[in-house]
Chains A and B, each alone.
Chain A
Amino acid sequence: MSVDAVTVDGVEGARSGRHAAPEQVARRRRGGGREQRMVPDAEPVSYYGQPVLNRPTWKSRDIAGYFFVGGLAGASSIFGAAAQASGRPGTARVAKLGALGGVTLSAAALVHDLGRPSRFYNMLRVFKPTSPMSVGSWILSGFGPAAGVAALSDLTGRAPRIGAAATASAAVLGSAVATYTAVLVTDTAVPAWHDGHKLMPVVFGASAASSAAGLALVAAPSGESGPARQVAAVASLVEELSLEAMTRSMSDEVGHAYHEGRAGKLLRAAKACTAFGAVAAAVAGHRRPVGVAAGLALLTGSALTRFGVFHAGLASADDPQATTGPQRARLAT
């Protein structure tokens, strides 16, 4: 090979692979000349294609699963309070039991994911506003008992005043439970999560509301289903639109994680389920079978959305270009 073959843009004519040795890897393009380039655009610079970040160690069943059941619990507790206040006892009971079930599963998933489950109590050793996980632990430790008392009081009919106070507290804390998980994932260096920090709380909040509406449609009396159907329609629309806007706001290097691979599949399935659920909820009226089908689709769609977002993050953590590309672009401006 003659010296002429080696240019500032790499080895002329060489098409470097994804895991190319660095000598084949071109320097990034400087300036935006309009002239025809004589060499093909080379693969971007990385260290043997290795990720810059360490991959999140969270297990998807535990943590993406928690985002779903925690969101369901939080939004259901809001449903419980609103249904009770508006005289819909059947929906209130289903929502309160759903909240209790959801928060119980959440606690189990969170403890299970710890590397040292026996040290779960260290979560309440300090309160740190800089750590969304610390804030979330404190919120959950207030929310769990409140949801429990609200559900038990509803079931037994005992201590109605305490039950009402617990229902109201669970609703307020539940709104935090449903959205803080978005801060938890976006407060990381994972590009596909962090770069979505403006809209992720909307995606997660809407997804939680959609799942709570789904649960109400499945299990609450169909005669009370009007509000659940309305929430289903609006929340599903907001969930899909905000997710779309979030991924569009990202650079291509980062955003593609939401469209490709496992995350892409999960999110396309989520969209189909959510759309079906929203339409079915809108036309269900008081017909129970249609309502149940709508509710199941909404619950599935919400869960798939969380798993999709989770896997998009894993894919982008594995991709060195998702980390370095936007940073290099920032330095160039």
Chain B
Amino acid sequence: MQRDYDEQNRKAKHHFRTRPIGVFRMIQLSNLTVCYQQRPAIHHISGRFERGSHTAIVGPNGAGKSTLLKAIAGLLPATGKIVANEAIGYLPQLAEIDRHFPLTVAELALSGHWLRAGNAGQLDATASARALAALERMGLADFAARSVATLSGGQMQRVRFARLIVQDTPIMLLDEPFNSVDSRTAGILIEVLAEWHAAGKTLVTVVHDLGVARAHFPQALLLAREVVAWGPSDEALQADNLERAQKLIEHWHNEAEWCAVP
């Protein structure tokens, strides 16, 4: 079953910048820069997420964590190069869904099949069963027929996570999934992440809580507009690194010099 889905994901039209880049690399970043009004949100980021890696992205507010995920997901214009090997699933930080739109919870979960089914592909009983199972996992089985307009922020986040389970892509980008959900849901999320990791997916998660990052994520990327440290999480998240990241972010010149490399 799982193998079938992987195969379908692969056959589906992939991310527009997807091309093979070797067996071990999953996402390759080269000199990646994203600016807002000539100020860098992130700049000169190079490195790679290996196949099957499980990385926490950590950094102070304004470090460019969400920007990095959005750039990888193809939602922001960026300079430099991003190459992803496989299809990407992305969980944004805030529910950017139009609540006013008349969709039910089940329909939203079903939309996780979009990459495989597209406009014309059949959504059969297996597809709906998969969507329902994902909702059940997130404790929303009874909500399937409800309109998304009636959900709370945290419930909405759970529906989106259910959709991510339905998407079942080889790469998962999650932007602060533990925010705005209750502690029981956070526990389920950590469980699902661990299962995905065991199944060999490549996971990149923005995490605020250093304790969570150290306990549940083997790798960490410490970000402060640039890469401060990137490696095993207990090494990357050492006190001196964290302090350096904090200083880099607090430091801000109105008349800073222009970066030599564009």
Q: Do A and B bind each other?
A: no
